[in-house]
Structure 1
């Protein structure tokens, strides 16, 4: 049976998406082509109708995963007040939810150590996407000169990714939570899990409309964070 070009493209995209999840979960060498094709609802024999080699699938799956992270950050930036953007990105990245779901998380802490052992073509593709992630974070350091902002972004990403990797190694207990908190504090320069604000009294509620503005911004950021967490 001959399929339309559109059908082939859709199938190709589905394979890449499924592969990106499984690779982040099990590692670049923890899952075979047959398993990846089965996950996409296809037979092993159909693999070469879509990819010239396993390496091509790896490169596309890695790129897809990293693009998703960058897209989330850029979308979040467009929906969140500027002064809250970086904190929201950091809090989401260094969360227990992200730690416990590598299959839908950032590809770098999930696959970075393995990429070092891949071919130069794969490493270059990975590095190119990492460069885009750096640019996305650098755009949040608006008060710094471009070169300084980029250096700050590199340091931020290194801290985020290293923290997440250590937290996953530590498991899901108190040590892991402490690592996540320390990483948030290191990036943001503040107590990551500050005490919630005191309940407003009747007197404070009557202080005027200006007192309600921070709460409105916080609610907006919370909604954006929820939408961000819902994506894979």
Structure 2
């Protein structure tokens, strides 16, 4: 049976979405192609009609997961006053809900350790998506020089991802909750707060953008 191009693309997207969840839940080597295709409601034999290799699927899946995180942060930023955006992003990230649901959370703490043992091509793709996340966070510091903003964004993201990873390691008890709380405080500790003038400029730009 021949399927339309649209049907093939829909199937491809479904596989990537399912893989993105399973990879974050079970790890890059925790599930095989046959199991993955079964989860997507497809046969093992159909895999290579969509992907050249397992590596190709892994790259697409974690890229999809990281794009979702970045987009979620953009939505938070769009709905939050400039001076509260970074704190809101941190507070939404370091939560018990995120800790307990890795399959639908950030790919960095879920897969970062494994990506270091993947091929150069996979690591390069992961690094490119991470760089985009860094830029997105740095954009929330309009009054800070770009180089400084990126450094602060790197520190913030590393603290957030590391905190979530350690919180998951110890489980979901009081110690884990304390780790999340400490991480929320530490993630913003070195971030330069927005100056009043910069906040007014950012607010003005946001209002102008809404009018257009």
Q: TM-score, normalising length from structure 2? A: 0.88
Q: 3-state DSSP class of the match of 1:118?
A: coil
Residue 178 of structure 2 corresponds to: 178
Shift of 1:141: 1.4
Aligned CA RMSD, in angstroms, stands at: 1.0
1:167 aligns with 2:178: no
Residue 77 of structure 1 corresponds to: 77
Q: 2-side partners of 1:144 and 1:92: how far apart?
A: 23
Aligned residue runs from structure 1 range 42-191, under 5 A: 42-189=42-189
Shift of 1:140: 1.1
Q: 1-side partners of 2:90 and 2:61: how far apart?
A: 24
Shift of 1:189: 3.7
Shift of 1:177: 0.5
Shift of 1:82: 1.1
5+ long unaligned stretches in structure 2? 191-212
Aligned residues: 190
Q: 3-state DSSP class of the match of 1:112?
A: helix
Q: 2-side partners of 1:187 and 1:102: how far apart?
A: 20
Alpha-carbon deviations, 1:136-164, whole Å to 9, x = none?
Answer: 11111122100000000000000000000
Alpha-carbon deviations, 1:9-48, whole Å to 9, x = none?
Answer: 0100000000000000000000010111111110001000
Does the aligned pair in 1 maintain the 2:15–2:37 contact within 8 Å? yes
Residue 215 of structure 1 corresponds to: none
Residue 18 of structure 1 corresponds to: 18
Q: 1-side partners of 2:79 and 2:35: how far apart?
A: 38
Q: 1-side partners of 2:144 and 2:170: how far apart?
A: 35
5+ long unaligned stretches in structure 1? 191-232
Q: 2-side partners of 1:26 and 1:36: how far apart?
A: 11
Bigger Rg over Cα: 1
Q: 3-state DSSP class of the match of 1:87?
A: helix
